[in-house]
Amino acid sequence: MAKVCEICGKGPRTGNRIIRHGLEKKKGGIGLHTTGITRRRFLPNVQRMRIRLGERTVRRNVCMACLKSGNVSKA
């Protein structure tokens, strides 16, 4: 299943996973140091559900943001 909302087009986004070691300065250390950065994906909460499109009921991949905002209504 594609992780793309068929209503708003929201899809996966990319970001970084940052690993830091050391003791914070306010806790008496010399500060946090970044020791590793790897790429990661942020996936939207996409569900396959039956929705109302006009007079018809169809199955679509819909993100929860569209459902909560009222852009679509469940059948």
> Do the Cβ atoms of 58 and 50 come closer than 8 Å?
yes
Residue 63 in contact with residue 8, Cβ under 8 Å? yes
Give the global pTM. Answer: 0.73
Residue 1: per-residue pLDDT: 64
Q: Residue 2 has what pLDDT?
A: 82
Q: CATH fold of 13-69, please?
A: putative 5-dehydro-2- deoxygluconokinase like fold (2.20.150)
Give the domain ranges of the chain.
13-69
**53 neighbors 10 (Cβ within 8 angstroms):** no
Residue pLDDT, tens place only, 33-43: 999 999 999 99
Helices (H), 13-73: 64-69
